[in-house]
Structure 1
Amino acid sequence: MTHSLTLGGVLLISTALVSPAALAQTAAPVLTAAAATADAADAADAAVDDAADIVVIGKNIPDAIRATPEVVSVLSAGEIARTGEGDIAGALGRVTGLSVVGSGYVYVRGLGDRYSLALLNGSPLPSPEPLKRVVPLDIFPTSILESAVVQKSYSARYPGEFGGGVIDLITKAIPDQSFVSVGIGASGDSETTGKLGYTYFGSRTDWTGFDNGTRDVPSALRAAMAGGNRIVEGETFDTRTIQGFTASLVNAPTSLLQRNGDIPANASGDFSIGKVIDAGDMRLGLIAAAGYSNSWRTKDARQQVSNGADSIGQDFRTVSTDNRIVVNGLLGLGAEFGDHKIRWTNLYIRDTLKQAQLSAGYDTNVPGADPVDSPDFLGTPPVLKQKTYWFERQLIDTQLVGEFKFGDVGVNLRGTYANSQRESPYERSFSYVYDAGTAQDYVNNLSAGGQSADIAFSDLNENVYAGAIDLAWNVPADREIVVSAGYSYGDTRRTSVRRDFQFFRPDGALNLAVAQERPDYLLSDYNIYTYNIQLREVTPNDATNGAGAYKAGLRVHGGYAQVEGEIVPLLRGSVGVRYEDASQSVTPVNLFGDTPFTGRSLANDYWLPAATLTWNFAEDMQLRLHASKTIARPQFREMALQLYQDYESDRQFFGNPNLNDSELFNAEARYEYYFDRGQRLSVAGFYKKIDNPIEAFGFLAGGGQLQTSFANAPSARLYGGEVELLKYFPLGNVSDAAFFTTRRLVLVANYTYSKSELKVGAGDTVVDPFGATLAASSLFNNGDPLTGQSDHIANVQIGLEDEDRLSQQTFMLTYASKRVTSRGPRQGDVQQPDIVEDPGLRLDFVAREGVSLFGGEAEIKFEVRNITGRGYREFQQGANRRIHTNLYNVGTSFSLGASIKF
């Protein structure tokens, strides 16, 4: 059979790989599995239809696998539905070799998110996270996606930033038939729902994910911030003006922490509509979808910071409650005429997090507050801190894709514009200290000794413009040969601003009576004017030691040529090369002066070859060999000298402008056996050599605060193997009972072993964030694993499903071994132990049942997540003590949802 290897075909792999069983899982009427299998059985085991056909032996190898020489995994709509996950990050965590770390960042074969490329319908996406250039995939609801294609071996048609793999999210386009679908859901967990948590008022519209203007920077203060002067008392601003700025800030709604003894359950809803119109030879389609979710999560965490290999500098119990609101919408228009397809996809996602946090504990930087062996967090611990946050992440994306076929020539065109934003207004924090003497109460004198109040405003905006053209020609020849070439252009521009302020009293410490007041009273208008409490800007503004703002850009021109075809019968090959020319810059912005800062620019070009051989050596069996070169560029935030607070880890990050590109060599061998229709066994081995890998390392900043930055390690090696099995066991022969007649047992299992090692020699050097050249051994140890890499990752799904209707019951077991999240801080010549996360074992259960209701097809879904109650564990293991960087119970969650489709 002949296959055209155009990019459009690759993007539609997902459709080809939907097995009959997966189709049978949907509520819409489809062909039965038996009928589909019967049709497939009519195909010959080996076929040579004409002089240009590929010879393939085996009827069970899916067409899409026959058509591509690369290593591809596809998560179809049915497979996504079986996992029951609400976002695509969770569903991708079930794919062989993939793991999800933090807030939706997908690691491929243990390589960090920097080595994973995320695309939407083949086009790049901007990230709403200051720390990342990669978009967090937990913001993509599964309801708006048709499938996800994961390609682990590089081909020249993809961008060169391909270290671990590419994840291409395919949105729904033209529906098979017109429909209307409505869904609702409710959920909760054992650590949050109905339990104690902390909240604050904010604004009346917070439940929508949109602030009503309460958190806008007051107009007078905003104008002063735009004037190019630091907001401090002096020549530009007199005392009365500064007091006016201070009093203009919204106070109690953003600073008053409230106990909530009954945190509500989570709720969600979605609506979608699809319309198909056949007009002569043209088929037109529309899909519109909208979704809303409102969820709560409370973490009662033990958070410690070391100040030595076995000693603790800070020890806190922190209770934080997150209220997360996600609003999304999708509008897709498509047209099919002849062999041509055009689709216009518009996507909107807004992900808002409202966080309230209270911490009690010990801190060596506060006099009389040194950590103790048996801390009393419920009594009167010496330090009390509270924080309130409001993080808005937003993504807008519009894409136009055309797929055209003119005989043996295929032409694909893509154009996209995307914008992402992250706003974090009113980042408030207060620190009180217990006065065991006169006051016998917690006090905050806004002066010293661990007593403070701070506020910050940050804003990030990023735009992406991208376009591409791909050409493919099926060469008329005795053997199947496809020659393809293409060009792509991408331009990413980011601006980020953060303004930091402290509340202080120039006349000295507040008296005890005022210092004992709760935060909103402490900063009341009366106190501001009576006791001269002032807002003082402390935004860093130094191109060397840190700046409050930066601009960043990445412009990439890429072109490729590739030849794919049959070398001899049963042996296919693909060879291609990509050329990329890129310029990347991160430039600090001088907020308080006319002299521009000098930033860092990288201008590099690369030739990136890739080659794959596929040998169909036996019936339904294939062997693939692959080798390629790829790159990984530093992310904007990793190069920016700007402090950033990560709400997930409650940790601060600081960039390094002296980073360089990483270069990778990749090799892989893979055996595939498709022993039955829709069933497979695969075994693979892989190897990667990385020059200049970018690694995170920890350091203790002023005040003993644990911060994380980045540096290029000299080199690293990664090698390992993976095995995957998908097997069905019909149960009709178990019993004559009607329950078993149409049911089968489904077993999906995969395991990945990977081992990584940093290579650090005696003469190797690194450059730290401040431009100092250090011995590489001062930050990294020879033989250390790469950050984020687990040696062992395993997923097992065992379930029952009905082959005639929607009825599934699935247990899902996930395991990931320990992985380093950051290098241990170094104090002088002493290297502290690495900070390690231990994900461990997790067990989930998902049940889906289809019923006929009101003339439509309804689905009821019940989920139990983390049945074993596995907690989150991040720590440093010293010789005599384990220091808990972040330790908390996750709890077991339950959810019930229903949807109906007409």
Structure 2
Amino acid sequence: MRLFLLAVLALFCTTVFAQTGTIRGTVIEDESGFTVIGANILIKDTSKGTVTDLDGAFSLEVAPGTYTLNISYIGFQDMAIEEVVVTAGEVTLLNELRLVEAGLELEQVVVTAKAIRTTEAALMTIKKKAPAMLDGISSARMQLTGDATAVEAAKRVTGVSIEGGKYIYVRGLGDRYSKTTLNNVDIPGLDPDRNTLQMDIFPTNLIDNIVVSKNFTADMPADFTGGLLNVETKAFPDEKIFNLSVSTSFNPDMHFNDDYLGYEGGNTDFLGYDDGTRALPQGARAENIPTPISGASQQEVTDFIQEFNPTLGAQRQSSLLDFSAGLSLGNQVSVGQSDNKLGYIFSLSYKTDYKYYDEVTYGEFQRFSDPDRTDLRYATIQEGQMGERNFLVGALGGLAYKTQYSKFRLTAMRLQNGESRAAQFRIDNDGEAVGQSGYIAESDNLEYNERSLTNFLLNGTHVLGASGWEIDWRLSPTFSTSDDPDIRKTAFTQTAVDTSFIAGAGGNPSRIWRSLSEVNAVAKFDITKKYKFKGEDAKLKFGASHTYKQRDYEILFFDIQFFGGQDWPNPTPSEVLTEGNIFPNGNRIYYQSGNNTPNPNAYESNVNNTAVYVSNEFDPLPNLKAIIGVRAENYVQRHTGRDQRFASGDILEGNNLDNEKVLDALDFFPSANFIYSLSEQQNLRAAYSRTIARPSFKELSFAQIIDPITNRIFNGSLFEYAGSWDGNLSETRINNLDLRWELFMEGGQLFSVSAFYKQFDNPIELVRIPEQQTSTEFQPRNVGDGQLYGVELEFRKSMNFVSEALSDFGLSGNVTFVESRIDMTATEFNARKNFERTGETVENTRQMAGQAPYVVNAGLTYTNRDKGWDAGLFYNVKGETLQIVGVGLYSDIYYEPFHALNFSLNKKIGKNQNTSIDFKVSNILNDRVESFYQSFEATPEIFNSINPGRSFGLGLSHRF
């Protein structure tokens, strides 16, 4: 109610001051990049003035005209800002005003208002002075480059690579070792099994900055190793925001394609959720569902079958263009006659896209038992087409109230995502391969996934006057769901005699319902005390946090059975559930439940993680800054679930956990960071830290999760396999060493060289289960100790060193090279030796899974702010990376490098350049996304292969 009244008051104030204009800006220390609290702002020759608040920000309402502002603060040179033009009803934004420390003689610094455009320079200052090794991108640079979403902007950050167009990995390390936070608070993504958040959901006009921390300090969560990426959204817009944007893209291989595959869904699919069309039939959860052998009546059996949606086949349709639209608005206003301010910001976004892959291949390959055979033979090859349609609806809203020494902020975010998929495959299974029966099948697959995420943040920041104390507290609950209602697979097996359903071959038609819900609640506070050490600024920081997570997960499985033989004169999926085939007619179809009671594919898990830390930042020697700290985290994870044996009634040999601890550890994470200033523009950094990577909920479970298209199965780590895995998955603890030399130059130009070393204790990797030879199954396991060495280079340089005529052109690039090594366990080494090829020498070390040997980002840009032009050609590639660890009969699987070459062009038009036109070309090289089986002297064989094609995008946005 209080916020509502403030909003009404703010609207009144906006009307009152409609005949005035507003001057806004932020005052920062030029040397440190820190904001200045309490700086005096005075309009020359008047008594009109104010002081900066806890963010160093100020706002003045004045009549239209041209003014000179005087800025003063004890210990700093005075600054005069001339030619500040104020227009009625508009905001004159001065951005960051940088105060220089006073010398023996105080002089006034005079600048003109139009010359102050230093947001990117301020980020460079923060990067230079930050305790951790930082890389990032500011809102000013995002605006300059025309990046529409956070994922496009993040591609420009050193060492960052993008997976699947959404997820951000740092230094080539996979998802397990990267972490994303929103406003410095843990937040799960739409995919709860990933550490990283989907970054394509955030429009850049709501973002203050994106910063990647390459090393750990005690005030950060300890569960990252490659990098911690934080997205900071705007709380107080510097000026009024009212933006509309629309965009579309065209891919010749995917759009306006009459061969596109889809199927009839629900009426609300376009909003990202199912309307009940795919709902689980009533009574399907019963221990005994109606079947001809369960004692149910004929009518009960028939009625139950008819509750299932009869559509089992993919349909050829026509695909449309991709489309997205966004609306953002925000502002800040003064409340009453005080300097208190109310800020608000809201955003709505909608996105839909079509994908059609005409040449999709999934392969399962094996080694031969004969050591003289180096080639691989196939067990199963699936080839076909797949269509996907994705909908994303996002809403973000925030209110913030600020006094001179306190700030309160409330934000809410809701994301709703729905994706339907239809596919048709020809399945070729080789009966000569180990564990295979041999068959040919034609499969139709229909899937739908809906995901939602609701996040709230309540944040308060308080500066206790001039005492040097600052308190920041945050409460942030997140509620997420991920449901797969009615996954359908229908595979006719072709024999020499007929075409029918065969359980041991293509399988009987099946349906799966999967549901996941998760709660993630975070409470944290940080307290900072500024003080003097040997006459220099120092900072003591300490705090605590508690994170609670709970996940409920369930899989329900049903398949078609036949009360007698089969006869399919017209073997197509559309004919299967016609009235003439369901019980008691024709093929006498009925549904059989594959679910035991209790369900082995259902679990409940929860985590309580309590953390405390202390950190001290001080200068022990001239030009040397030290940041020493330690963090303690008490992490307890509990699990309720059981294996198939227990669920089938074997309570003696089976395993059952009832809210039992599967992880329980108190860890201390020390960190030491040293920064030596070689000169005003050069730093030499050194750091040591200890971090951790923990198993996810599904990894510490008995769940068996099948991908219905590929038939690949994920197994929770709690399953034991005699002789190869004991079922005890532990955390990975990592020691980190970092060095960096960095040089900062004018205009945001920079050059840096970094070196890093990481030592892994019990890393977790996804392993092909060697004992499962009739099916393709994987399991997360601890694989032995690991280590990696790496170097990282970054440069950003204007081409004016060649000629002043090229000053609008810029070169940027960053390259990361990594050498990784896993010391295998005896089990893995012996399994590899048993399948050693003639002429091959199997070593007891190998590359780490998920770690790319190199990451390259390069860009050539053109920027002419006065004429409103911005263009760039950007290249990104990540080296060949071990995806899945193969053992024995099965070889390793590697991601193939994907060479991404993209072009973007942005033109701002209009008197004030408020309208922007974007043109983009993606995947110019038309590269494929692929991964391959690799073995000694063998031709690489396909594991996954799709072609995303080349796409052309056009966008239009307007700032009112």
Task: Give the TM-score, by structure 2 length.
Answer: 0.80
Note closer, same or farther for the CA distance 1:761–1:821 as it changes in structure 2 (3 Å cut). Answer: closer
1:464 and 2:520 correspond: yes
Residues 257-268 of structure 1: pairs in structure 2 closer than 5 A? 257-260=314-317, 262-268=318-324
Q: Which amino acid aligns with 1:787?
A: A
Q: In structure 2, what residue type is equivalent to 1:337? A: T
Alignment partner of 1:344 is 2:421? no
1:673 and 2:743 are equivalent in the alignment: yes
User: Does residue 198 of structure 1 match 2:261?
Assistant: yes
Equivalent residues in 2 for 1:159-308 (5 A)?
Answer: 159-195=221-257, 196-221=259-284, 225=285, 227=286, 241-252=300-311, 255-260=312-317, 262-279=318-335, 280-299=338-357, 300-308=359-367
* Other structure's SS at 1:245 match: helix
User: For 2:255 and 2:103, how far apart are their aligned partners in 1?
Assistant: 58
Q: Give the direction of change, closer, same or farther, for the CA distance of 1:349–1:700 in structure 2 (3 Å limit).
A: farther
Q: Which amino acid aligns with 1:783?
A: T
- Matching residue within 893, 897, 901 for 2:955: 897
User: Shift of the alpha carbon at 1:761?
Assistant: 5.2
Q: Could you say if the C-alpha distance between residues 447 and 565 of structure 1 is closer, same or farther in structure 2, counting changes exceeding 3 Å?
A: closer
- Residue of structure 2 aligned with 1:329, choices 392, 395, 407: 395
Distance in 2 between residues matched to 1:277 and 1:155, nearest whole Å: 36
Residues 818-867 of structure 1 show CA distances to partners (whole Å, capped at 9, x for unaligned) of: 0011012x3xxx343210111232210001111117x8711110000111
Match of 2:799 among 725, 729, 740: 729
Match of 1:619 among 680, 689, 712: 680
8 Å CA contact 2:181, 2:228 repeated in 1: yes
Q: Distance in 2 between matches of 1:4 and 1:859?
A: 31
Q: Deviations over 1:53-81 (max 9, x none)?
A: xxxxxx99943134422101112224445
SS in 2 for 1:418: strand
Q: Equivalent residue for 1:579?
A: 632
Amino acid at match of 1:422: S
Judging changes above 3 Å, is the alpha-carbon distance between structure 1 residues 307 and 662 closer, same or farther for their aligned structure 2 residues?
Answer: same
Alignment match of 2:170 (pick from 101, 108, 115): 108
Q: Indicate if the aligned counterparts of 1:303 and 1:318 stay in contact, CA closer than 8 A.
A: no
* Secondary structure of 2:283's aligned partner: helix
Deviation at 1:296, TM superposition (A): 0.8
Contact 2:287 2:596 in 1 (8 A): no
Aligned to 1:21: none
Q: Secondary structure at 1:528's aligned position in 2?
A: coil
Contact 1:312 1:371 in 2 (8 A): no
- Report deviation, 1:100: 2.5
SS in 2 for 1:891: coil
Distance verdict in 2 for CA 1:464–1:561, change over 3 Å: same
The 3 A distance-change label for structure 1 pair 5 and 147 is closer
Match for residue 861 of structure 1? Answer: 918
Paired residues in the alignment total 828
2:428–2:440 CA contact under 8 A, matched in 1: yes
Describe the shift of the 1:812–1:46 C-alpha distance in structure 2 as closer, same or farther (beyond 3 A): farther
Do 1:286 and 1:333's aligned partners in 2 also have CA atoms closer than 8 Å?
A: yes
2:42 counterpart residue number = none
Find the aligned partners of 2:678 and 2:495 in 1 and give their Cα distance: 79
Amino acid corresponding to residue 884 of structure 2 in structure 1? S
Mapped contact 2:137–2:154 kept (Cα < 8 A): yes
- Match of residue 711, structure 1, among 781, 798, 818: 781
Are residues 457 and 271 of structure 1, via their aligned partners in 2, closer, same or farther at CA, if it must alter by over 3 Å?
same
- Check whether the contact 2:159–2:815 (CA below 8 A) recurs between aligned residues: yes
Kindly state the Cα deviation for residue 308 of structure 1 after the two structures are TM-superposed.
2.5
What is the CA distance between 1:806 and its match in structure 2? 3.3
Aligned CA distance change for structure 1 residues 648 and 392 (closer, same or farther; 3 Å) = farther
* Conserved? CA contact 2:493–2:502, under 8 Å: no
Segment drifting more, 777-786 vs 383-392: 777-786
Cα distance per residue 1:69-114 (max 9 Å; x no partner): 2101112224445666654345433322222334733322222211
Is the alpha carbon distance of 1:257 and 1:206 closer, same or farther for their aligned partners in structure 2, counting shifts above 3 Å?
Answer: same
Residue 217 of structure 2 corresponds to residue 158 of structure 1: no
> Given the superposition, is the C-alpha separation of residues 330 and 366 from structure 1 closer, same or farther in structure 2, using an over 3 Å criterion?
farther
- State the Cα distance separating 1:480 from its structure 2 match: 1.4
Please, which of 167, 180, 185 is the counterpart of residue 118 of structure 1? 180
Contact 1:183–1:898 at 8 Å: present in 2 too?
yes
**Within 2, Cα distance between the matches of 1:784 and 1:47?**
62
Using a 3 Å threshold, how does the CA distance of structure 1 residues 395 and 776 change in structure 2: closer, same or farther?
A: farther
Match of 2:50 in 1: none
SS of the equivalent of 1:450 reads coil
The aligned amino acid for 2:622 is P
Cα drift, residue 626 of structure 1:
0.1
Aligned partner of 1:416 in structure 2 is 476
Q: Deviations over 1:97-154 (max 9, x none)?
A: 2223347333222222111121111111124435445544445454543322110110
Q: Distance in 1 between matches of 2:454 and 2:941?
A: 42
**Does residue 1:444 correspond to 2:500, yes or no?**
yes
1:527 counterpart SS class: coil
Residues of 1 paired with 2:346 and 2:361: CA distance? 44
Q: Would the alpha carbon gap of residues 528 and 702 (structure 1) be closer, same or farther in structure 2, given more than 3 Å must change?
A: farther
AA paired with 1:813?
A: Y
Aligned CA distance change for structure 1 residues 87 and 444 (closer, same or farther; 3 Å):
farther
For residues 675-721 of structure 1, the C-alpha deviation after alignment (integer angstroms, 9 at most, x for no partner) is: 22311101000000010100111237868443321100121001110
Q: How far, CA to CA, are the matches of 1:424 and 1:518 in structure 2? A: 24
Task: Give, in whole Å, the separation in 1 of the partners of 2:124 and 2:650.
Answer: 63
Cα distance in 1 for residues equivalent to 2:878 and 2:708: 23
Give the SS at the match of 1:219: coil
The residue number in structure 2 matching 1:548 is: 601
Unmatched tracts of structure 1, length 5 or more: 16-27, 50-58, 373-380, 767-773
1:182-241 C-alpha deviation (Å, 9 max, x unpaired): 1111102132112332110112332222222211122333xxx1x455786655866654
- The 1:258–1:511 alpha-carbon spacing in structure 2 relative to 1, beyond 3 Å, is same
Structure 1 position 510 matched with structure 2 position 566: yes
Residues 271 and 289, structure 1, Cα contact 8 Å, conserved in 2? yes
1:263 aligned partner, one-letter code: S
Task: Return the offset for 1:332.
Answer: 0.9
Is the contact between residue 445 and residue 512 of structure 1 (CA under 8 Å) also seen in structure 2?
no
- CA gap of 1:842–1:66, structure 2 versus 1, over 3 A, is closer
Note the C-alpha offset of 1:44: 7.2
Question: Which amino acid counterpart does residue 612 of structure 2 have in structure 1?
Answer: G
* Contact persistence 2:863–2:870 (CA under 8 A): yes
The equivalent residue for 2:76 is none
Shift of 1:776: 10
Change (3 A) 1:307 1:244: farther
Query: What secondary structure does 2:270 align onto?
Result: helix
Cα shift readout 1:295-328 (whole Å, capped 9, x = no counterpart): 0111221221113251101122121111011100
Q: Confirm or deny: 8 A CA contact 2:876 2:899 kept in the other structure.
A: yes
Structure 2 counterpart SS, 1:890: coil
Q: Secondary structure at the match of 1:129?
A: coil
**Is the 8 Å Cα contact of residues 540 and 547 (structure 1) preserved in structure 2?**
yes
Asked whether the equivalents of residues 178 and 195 of structure 2 are also in contact (C-alpha less than 8 Å), the reply is: no
- Aligned-residue offset at 1:805: 5.1
Greater CA radius of gyration, 1 or 2?
A: 2
Structure 2: segments with no counterpart, 5+ residues: 1-28, 38-53, 59-89, 107-120, 369-375, 719-727, 836-841
Encode CA deviations 1:33-52: one digit per residue, 9 max, x unaligned: xx98xx76x84799999xxx
Contact kept in structure 2, 1:5 and 1:67, CA below 8 Å: no
RMSD (Å), alpha carbons: 3.5
Match of residue 426 from structure 1 = 486
The alpha carbon displacement at 1:733 in A equals 6.0
- 2:745 is aligned with what amino acid? F
SS of equivalent residue, structure 2 residue 216 = coil
Aligned in 2, Cα 1:334/1:863: closer, same or farther, shift over 3 Å?
same
SS of the equivalent of 1:382 reads strand
CA contact (8 A) 2:248 2:322 kept: yes
Q: Is the 8 A contact 2:824 2:846 kept in 1?
A: no
Spell out structure 1 runs of 4+ moving beyond 6 A: 11-15, 28-32, 44-49, 230-233, 369-372, 590-596, 647-650, 700-703, 774-781
TM-score, L = length of structure 1: 0.85
Q: Which residue of 1 aligns with 2:573?
A: 519
